[in-house]
Amino acid sequence: MSQTPTQDVATALIERCARIETVLRERHTITQSHGLRAVTHDAVAAGDPGATFYSEQLLALAELHDVVLRSRTGNGAPVAPPLPETIARADRLLQELEHPAPARRFAASALSRATSGEALGPRLAEMRSRDFSQVPVYDAGVFAGLLTTNAVARWLADQLDERGDALIDDARVRDVLPYAEEHEVAWFVPEGTPASRVVTALLDQRPPLAVILTASGRDSDPPLGLLVAADLPELLEALTV
């Protein structure tokens, strides 16, 4: 007997959930848990970036999967079949879990880089004209810190004389770097890092000011891309399911 359209949609949902569960189970060698809900929890606990970012959607999908199974009638058709849009979202989730969008796709690759020995004035002029709030500093190819507008403000406040003037003509980038606060740091990740992992980091309670992608994720490698909080709208739109 051929399936009805309702049964087709329900079968499609069950198949997608099984495939998602298999992807997470095999990636993290999950053997003790069964069902999409339990496997999702285990994958999140294992640090899976996709499962962590999409945990709410995955758990909602698991709940719908269980509702469909519980509501089946005698002929196998569910009383409350899922909508086709739900199948499309499940496909999107499966795609992001199997082949996650790489962060480098969204990262600025034409990086502005400073050196600690260069004059501060021209660098500040560039930051103002290009609306940069932070610039990575590299000396001999090794990361030396972030030049941030907040650190510049603290440094300037420390240079004021009795008349409220501050001279920066002879100042160098290295003069400002000690004024960076503890949270004004960069996070280095390999270039293949999923975009979802970067978004999770940038949305953290204490996020890095910049995420810098390098070949190996070490700060001694040349930077290949940079992402900051201002990139979040584009990232979130691209990852929405």
Looking at the structure, do residues 79 and 153 belong to the same domain, yes or no?
no
The answer to whether residues 115 and 232 belong to one domain is: yes
Per residue in 190-232, pLDDT (tens digit) is 999 999 999 999 999 999 999 999 999 999 898 999 999 999 9
Tally of structural domains, the chain: 2
Indicate if 150 and 217 belong to the same structural domain.
yes
Same domain for 205 and 117: yes
For residues 20-41, one letter each, b for 16 or more C-beta atoms within 10 angstroms of the residue's C-beta and e for the rest, the string is: bbebbbeebebeebeebbebbb
**Cβ atoms < 10 Å from Cβ of 209:** 20
Same domain, 67 and 110: no
Q: Is 105 exposed, middle or buried (0-12, 13-18, 19+ CB in 10 A)?
A: exposed
pLDDT at position 8: 79
pTM, to two decimals: 0.81
Reported as a single tens digit per residue, the pLDDT across 98-149 is: 999 999 999 977 678 999 999 998 999 999 998 889 999 999 989 999 999 9
- Please give the pLDDT value at position 131: 87
What residues make up the domain containing 142?
A: 105-239
CATH code for the domain of 197: 3.10.580.10
Q: What percentage of the chain reaches a pLDDT higher than 70?
A: 89
Q: How many angstroms separate the CA atoms of 224 and 204, rounded?
A: 23
User: Do 115 and 228 share a domain, yes or no?
Assistant: yes
**pLDDT band at residue 68 using 50, 70 and 90 as cut-offs:** confident
